[in-house]
Chain A
């Protein structure tokens, strides 16, 4: 946000400063020491970056190697015996073979879970955040802090009772939220996202200038109109950054899926399938490597495509919280 221009000017300031310094005669020792520390720092940074990247890189390379090569030689030999195949991907996504993990199905499930699982909490949290920012009623602050504090209830604590609630939620014989549909997952993800979403969106919405809202009210706009026509459009940056978070969080979730999906190919997301595969076929590396990458494609695309908003969201949550 405002950090970008400030930083740019800081960088130019440093650059000119350096230029002046080099033009001036300086004690030799100081110059050498500075260069050394910065060289050491660069080396250390490169080492860290390499260590952090190699594991993913190795998996990526392996996913394109034939089964035989993966099992019999390390992936770092890939240049020596260069072989390239897409067979692993074909095999894990959809193949006639009964042993195929059929990840294509589960990939679709993940998509079907993540879309409502992101939209529902965003809308509900924006509404609540608007009231917490601009509504007037007694006990508002206390209630808000209580909602914030709910972040602390571990998911694990809520799972069992919520599951039995879903099972017992019936009208006569008709089960409102039957097992083996997405509905339980959508609602569970919505609930678990609300405390943080309300908190972050509230921070943003409360910064909207009061005059804007006052002006609309004088013009006779009701709360619903103000919310949809003014608050939501102005909050797009905050909604976008939290939306990305929620998207990644739901896509990458395992625990909620394990409890509420029933584990069938009709509902279970790709993370659940992948976890299952590592348990039952932990040595079929040609499948695991390709499978892991299939599960990472969407989050990595979201991450690299929307990195700016993602970081912004982190900062809003991190520095204000």
Chain B
């Protein structure tokens, strides 16, 4: 275990260097001449984050935007990468899959999460019931990939099944199925994994929103003889509209960037690739950084409207203050 010592040492050194840098900034800010002190503070406190964001996000984003218009040797090739993306059959499959993911995951995880939040609201053991559905949020997508590959595990019809879903098929008298290999439905089985992960997130947020609905409104509806469904449609849904939008946008953004699930379960083979995975494959495996960058750019454009909307909301909030 001499390894342990060395790893520990690296971490301690890193923390020490970091503490020294921060300490130095604090010292300089406090010792600055009085007239300049406020400015020095602003610069000193913002600079580390600003520099990191500039070199780590802003710069690379701009560079990638240029890279998207070059070939594998770095020479400009106009729109070739985008033409490839929208004409090659396998690239088109990637786009189709991404669209499927982005529609199904937010919709279904929000629907199931909302239903569950309503069903268990004020039930006995609510906390424990919540934790069960929420737990997949804490598991890595790689771990979730292993869990679900095991659920989908396939054995020939003459053998004993070890995957639960195939066993259920056998019990009901059908042939076992290659869940992850048979295109095009295999994409749906991957999507199910993401829904399994995201439902907990939707449920927690929506449950908090439901608890925030003023009791008098619910009571009034009850006295008027509204049925459970009417209460849900006419009171619950409108009251939690804000939270619903937040949940759907957050899950949508997360789904657009999904990578680990596809990577661990099929590595993007058998027509299951999505943009985020294809981008990695093109840039780091197929030695086509231009195509990778083009895919990243498309991803960015897909997310852009959502962020513009959120940034607008934020600006309005700040102006009201």
Contacts and interface: CB of A to CB of B under 8 A. Distances in A.
Interface of A: 3, 6-7, 10-11, 13-14, 17, 30, 33-34, 37, 41-42, 44-45, 48-49, 52-56, 58-59, 62, 70-76, 105, 108-109, 111-112, 115-116, 119-120, 123-125, 127-128, 130-131, 135-137, 141, 144-145, 147-162, 165, 181-183, 186-188, 190-192, 194-195, 198, 222-225, 227-228, 248, 251-255, 258-259, 271, 274-275, 278-279, 282, 285, 288-289, 291-292, 295-296, 299-300, 302-304, 307, 311, 314-315, 318-319, 321
A190 to B, nearest CB: 6
Nearest to A277: B146
A285 to B, nearest CB: 7
B136 to A, nearest CB: 7
Interface residues of B, number: 124
B293 interface: yes
Given A34-B228, A285-B162, A156 B56 contact: no
Q: Which residue, of B3, B7, B49, B311, has the highest number of chain A Cβ atoms within 10 A?
A: B49
A98 B215 CA distance: 64
Given A45-B129, A195-B53, A288 B143 contact: no
Given A54-B164, A292-B143, A319-B208, A41 B135 contact: no
Contacts of B163: 74
A142 B22 CA distance: 26
8 contacts: A108-B4, A131-B45, A149-B311, A158-B64, A191-B55, A278-B265, A279-B267, A289-B146
B76 interface: no
Interface string B111-155: 010011011101100000101111111111111011111110100
Interface string B286-312: 000100110111011001101110110
B45 A128 contact: yes
Contact of B246 (A253, A255, A318): A318
Nearest to A157: B296
Contacts of B306: 152
Given A53-B132, A135-B42, A258-B280, A158 B61 contact: yes
B320 interface: no
Contact of B56 (A42, A162, A296): A162
B96 interface: no
Contacts of B212: 3
A124 B29 CA distance: 15
Nearest to A158: B60
Nearest to A282: B149
Contact of B139 (A11, A254, A299): A299
Given A53-B135, A222-B30, A275-B263, 7 more contacts: A125-B49, A127-B48, A158-B56, A161-B64, A198-B49, A291-B146, A319-B242
B63 interface: yes
- 4 tightest A-B CB contacts, nearest first: A191-B56, A252-B140, A303-B138, A161-B60
B49 A152 contact: no
Contacts of B131: 304, 307
B26 A124 contact: no
Contacts of B292: 156, 160
B205 A318 contact: yes
Contacts of B39: 137
Interface string B25-50: 01101100000011101100110111
A109 B85 CA distance: 37
Contacts of A10: 211, 215
A223 B40 CA distance: 10
Contacts of B315: 141, 145
B167 A74 contact: yes
B100 interface: no
A155 B257 contact: yes
Nearest to A116: B14
A128 B46 contact: yes
Contact of A45 (B116, B138, B205): B116
A195 B57 contact: yes
Interface stretch (B86-94, B183-191, B196-204): B196-204
A14 B122 CA distance: 9
B105 interface: no
Nearest to A161: B60
A45 B136 CA distance: 17
A194 B170 CA distance: 50
Contacts of A225: 30
Contacts of A153: 57-58, 60-61, 300
A315 B7 CA distance: 36
Interface string B213-257: 001000100000101100000000000001100110010010011
A295 B32 CA distance: 48
Contacts of A37: 227-228
A269 B264 CA distance: 15
Given A3-B211, A41-B119, A304-B131, A156 B296 contact: yes
A271 B259 CA distance: 13
A156 B280 contact: yes
A264 to B, nearest CB: 12
A207 B264 CA distance: 42
B138 A49 contact: no
A48 B264 CA distance: 25
A311 B139 contact: no
B284 to A, nearest CB: 7
